[in-house]
Amino acid sequence: QSALTQPASVSGSPGQSITISCTGTSSDVGSYNLVSWYRQVPGKAPKLLISEGGKRPSGVSNRFSGSKSGNTASLTISGLQAEDEADYYCCSFTISRTYVFGTGTKVTVL
Amino acid sequence: EVQMVQSGGGLVQPGGSLRLSCAASGFTFSAYWMHWVRQAPGKGLVWVSRINPDGSSISYADSVKGRFTISRDNAKNTLYLQMSNLRVEDTAVYFCTRDTFGDKDFWGQGTLVTVSS
């Protein structure tokens, strides 16, 4: 199972919106409603950011939103803030009843 | 408060074995699917394995199938990962995670496994 494809890095200025793509295949992303998204600060465990159902866990800002079209899912961060600097990963269930993560995207706030 | 405390990592030679543990508290452990996810140094997250609440349904990533065994002891609220025939490429931080409707909503602190001669 190959990892889902994400851009290695995305950057933006404070207040801007950025979008991180997550491209898979009809065997994973294309087969399910949404993917889940995780945020990881280096040296720490990942944290759930967007659920497979598109919901945000308690405490996650509504500046984060997820969407999907075909085999590509997207995470949008609006009103970018310095604290948003982190690594972001998507994750999808697969038709083999396994899971696959994305390659990860480093977000930099300029 | 949900907590998952991991133990069992360390240095092991290629071909060796190691067992990781993940002690859960603060939730009804026996009601949840659980996963192992790993992250090689400087690399991304990789899903390893998952197990259903009663241990009757298990799946693995192809890269570990036949070498790793996931299990759980619901009486002890503990998840395990038995790793055998370890390879240098298995070197990673291993995380246990709780599954809620497919979402990995709580994570252990991670434990480092280093496979080296």
Q: What is the pLDDT of residues A41-69, one digit of tens each?
A: 999 999 999 998 888 999 999 999 999 99
Rounded to the nearest angstrom, the minimum Cα separation between B16 and chain A is 25
CB contact under 8 A, A98 and B47: yes
**Mean pLDDT across A85-91:** 97
Token duo for residue B84: 């055998």
Tell me what pLDDT residue B102 has: 86
Hey, which bits of chain B come out as E strands?
A: 3-7, 10-12, 18-25, 33-39, 45-51, 58-60, 68-73, 78-83, 92-100, 103-107, 111-115
Residues on chain B touching A96 (C-beta within 8 angstroms): 59
B contact residues 40-99, partner A, Cβ 8 Å cutoff: 44-47, 50, 59-62, 95
Residues on chain A touching B95 (C-beta within 8 angstroms): 45-46
Tell me what pLDDT residue B3 has: 96
Torsion of CA B35, A53, A99, A89, to 10 degrees: -90
Rounded to the nearest angstrom, the minimum Cα separation between B107 and chain A is 6
The tens place of each residue's pLDDT in chain B, 117 residues long, gives 999 999 999 999 999 999 999 999 999 999 999 999 999 999 999 999 999 999 999 999 999 999 999 999 999 999 999 999 999 999 999 999 999 888 999 999 999 999 999
Token duo for residue B1: 């408060």
Cβ-in-10-Å burial (0-12, 13-18, 19+) of A2 comes to exposed
Tell me what pLDDT residue B36 has: 98
Each residue's pLDDT tens digit, A14-43: 999 999 999 999 999 999 877 999 999 999
DSSP A5: B
Tell me what pLDDT residue B94 has: 98
Token duo for residue A37: 């998204």
Q: Is B3 on the interface with A (CB under 8 A)?
A: no
Residues on chain B touching A104 (C-beta within 8 angstroms): 44-45
Q: Is B23 on the interface with A (CB under 8 A)?
A: no
Contact A27, A4 (CB under 8 A): no
Residues on chain B touching A29 (C-beta within 8 angstroms): none
Token duo for residue A63: 């500046």
Q: Which of A58, A98, A105 to mutate to test the interface with B (most CBs of B within 10 A)?
A: A98
Each residue's pLDDT tens digit, A68-86: 999 999 999 999 999 999 9
CB contact under 8 A, A45 and B108: yes
CB contact under 8 A, B50 and A51: no
